[in-house]
Amino acid sequence: MNIYSSLLAVFGLALFEIIISVDNAIINAEVLGTMSKKARRWFLIWGILTAVFVIRGLLPWLIIWISTPDLGPIAAWTASFSGDEKVKEIINESSPILLIGGGTFLIFLFFHWLFLEAKHYGLIGERFIHKQGVWFYAVVSIILVALVWVSLKFNPMMSLGIVIGSSAFFITHGFKENAEQMEKQMLDGTSGMSDLSKILYLEVIDATFSIDGILGAFAFTFSIPLILIGNGIGALVVRQLTVSNIENVKKYKYLKNGAMYSIFTLGSIMILHSFGHYLDANKYPYLSIITHIPDWFTPVVTFTIVGYFFWKSYRELKKGKGIPVKQ
């Protein structure tokens, strides 16, 4: 990856982190409103160290290290800059498992939003699909079976990655639902939580909400330093939005749509990349074009999707229709 591709990846990572973290910023802003000024200052200043360096730096590193245990902890951090052919080979061999697991997680996340979650309808067909919410579990079950069936033909370990990705989705979804209930109790004053407990709660929520961003980051790059920089910039912007402009951000009602379609696209890219690793370009030239996606494509398509829904939100806002979605 050259310098231009690296810069493009960092900007793409930052934008992706910002757009998918709006929900988290809204929760943070609402909970911070119930805390003392001192506690709010502590969370916003010192909490950023945890959000950036621990969550968005440590988790990607752990994921790569666990998926490539032969590298060791130091090599997992510096692998993307290593000239060692053995290191490159280890990363290359394990990448399909990581990519397909992360891709499965993101695809499930998208379909959960499309079928079950309250939303502003930004594209034709969203209203109809939302009314068919009962079919969500059938759809993701079919996707799961199809991915496992195909992956067994390439590498049985990819099937393990798929199962881990789907399991991670349902586990983190459970955490998010519990977080919503806790948030309601804190806002109505019935939680009985101290400011310290609320700070710890917000850090746990931040870690939970960051999973999709961290997994989506691997569609941009496997470089831990680049992921840390890009996601870190995004996290800093989100923290600033939390304290200053969150009400204005909420008026752009289609930003969540942009985030979810970006997630679907990144998940699809990751799955295609994972299968493309095993395809013979000479034997399957047309499939090879689809599965071997250039480095610049992921950030460019992210900018395009988010830009479209931002423009759509801005246009609606100018018409005086930028109102919060009804839950």
The DSSP string of 71-119 is T-HHHHHHGGG---HHHHHHHHHHHHHHHHHHHHHHHHHHHHHHHHS--
Cβ contacts of 77 within 8 Å, gap of 6 or more: 61, 224, 225
- pLDDT score, position 327: 44
Banded pLDDT at 64 (limits 50, 70, 90): confident
Banded pLDDT at 280 (limits 50, 70, 90): low
Query: Does the structure show a pLDDT above 60 at 34?
Result: yes
Cα–Cα distance measured from residue 187 to residue 120, given in angstroms and rounded to the nearest whole number: 24
Highest mean pLDDT among 23-37, 68-82, 103-117: 103-117
- pLDDT score, position 190: 65
pLDDT tens for each residue of 156-214: 889 999 999 999 999 988 888 887 777 777 777 666 778 888 888 887 777 777 788 88
Percent of the chain with pLDDT over 90: 32
CA-closest candidate to residue 211, choices 3, 2, 15, 21: 21
Q: Count CB neighbours of 219 within 10 A.
A: 31
- pLDDT score, position 104: 96
Query: Does the structure show a pLDDT above 50 at 326?
Result: no
Cα–Cα distance measured from residue 203 to residue 36, given in angstroms and rounded to the nearest whole number: 17
Query: Does the structure show a pLDDT above 80 at 281?
Result: no
- The DSSP symbol for 252 reads -
